[in-house]
Structure 1
Amino acid sequence: MLRPTPSLLAPIATALVLALAAAPLASKETSAIPKDLPPVFEAVVNCRTLTSDSERLACYDRSVAALAAARDKADIVVADRATIRETKKGLFGFTLPKLKLFGAAENDGDDVKEIESTITAVRRTADGLAIFTLADGARWKQTDGGATFAKPGIGIRIKRGTLGSYLASIDKGAFIRVVRLAQ
């Protein structure tokens, strides 16, 4: 399997994605909620325990300012489920290490199983197979099958196959095996 280049992982690996800030904390399993949240986030949550209104307000003012400063320095990233799903779609086809980048949404059954896009460029390789560039810039290489007759502007659907493989249907045609290429 091809692995993404370090330059692709760098922005992702440096950010902790907290879906908890935008999504409800209610979950089917309480074990899905991360136990080791960043201290800057915990400080905000811990303000709830203060009983004095003035102390609680001062705590919120302090901790929210620290949280905003961490966000501004990109030390922490807060994302909702829609953003996480779009990120997962952008990473579709790569085998990533289990880094728990997506917080509680990591194993929520919301895995991307297929994508649909438009082909923006096609290049033939020396072996006669094709490399497709999709609208989001992702590149996929055909690994088997015959001529695809793909051209820019045509729709493509890529889905997970068995044993880590991927299958593409171009313009609603028969499926061919493809592999995601690093940028």
Structure 2
Amino acid sequence: MRAHLLIHAAAFAILLHAAPAMAKKDSADRLATPAIVQQLVACRDIAADAERLACYDKQVLAFDTATKSRDIVIADKVDVRSARKGLFGFKLPSLNIFGNGRDEDEEITEIASTIASARPTRDGQWRIVLADGAVWEQVSTDHFVLGPRPGNPVKIKQAALGSYKVSVDGQPSVRMRRVE
């Protein structure tokens, strides 16, 4: 039963890592398929049943060892979406580990949360900490009608030129940037 689960996990990892490589992209833009996954996939080309099974057994063991030692990390769409949401607001290098923003259906352009804390800064702008720990600071001279308070719902939308519009409790938006 355990071997069956490992084979399914390996197959999922193959799909996860092979999909970007199979897409028509520049070779510099591709996410390389790890050697351990390539070796596992190569087992299917062995014609003799006993040799193919021995190859799969060997490669699945190597794959299992690599996942346990965290040399290979398996992430499903839920994990990737959660990571994207957690990184929302940061400017990151193009690593192509989350699809490189090419999957328009999965691109996160807005989030909703709750304010954990809010305080004005020395220059009269606002610093807001969300429930997930993300910290945002106001960069515009616009003002909230009512100051943000813990427990207020907040919506953050991606805006032009890398900025973000933050609306607290349905109020008009102000421009902010994520700092932590």
Q: TM-score surpassing 0.5? A: yes
Distance apart, 1:36 and its partner CA? 2.3
> Structure 2: how far apart are the matches of 1:20 and 1:165?
35
- Unaligned 5+ segments in structure 1 are 1-18
Equivalent residue, structure 1, for 2:87: 91
Q: How many residues align?
A: 161
Compute the TM-score of the two structures, normalised by the length of structure 1: 0.79
Match of 2:69 among 73, 98, 102: 73
The CA RMSD measured in Å over matched residues stands at: 2.3
Equivalent residue, structure 1, for 2:143: 146
> Structure 2: how far apart are the matches of 1:75 and 1:111?
27
> Structure 1: how far apart are the matches of 2:126 and 2:113?
16
Equivalent residue, structure 2, for 1:163: 161
Match of 2:174 among 167, 173, 176: 176
> Structure 2: how far apart are the matches of 1:116 and 1:42?
40
Compute the TM-score of the two structures, normalised by the length of structure 2: 0.81
Structure 2: which amino acid aligns with 1:64?
Answer: V
* C-alpha contact 1:116 1:156 (8 A) present in aligned 2: yes
Q: How does 1:1-183 map to 2 (within 5 A)?
A: 21=14, 30-31=23-24, 34=30, 36-102=32-98, 105-106=99-100, 107-109=102-104, 110-144=106-140, 145-147=142-144, 148-182=146-180
DSSP 3-state at the match of 1:78? coil
Larger radius of gyration: 2
Structure 2: which amino acid aligns with 1:42?
Answer: Q
* C-alpha contact 1:22 1:79 (8 A) present in aligned 2: no
Distance apart, 1:113 and its partner CA? 0.5
The higher-RCO structure (CA 8 Å, 6+ apart) is 1
Distance apart, 1:154 and its partner CA? 0.8
Distance apart, 1:34 and its partner CA? 4.4
Which 4+ stretches in 1 moved above 3 angstroms? 19-27, 32-35
DSSP 3-state at the match of 2:94? coil
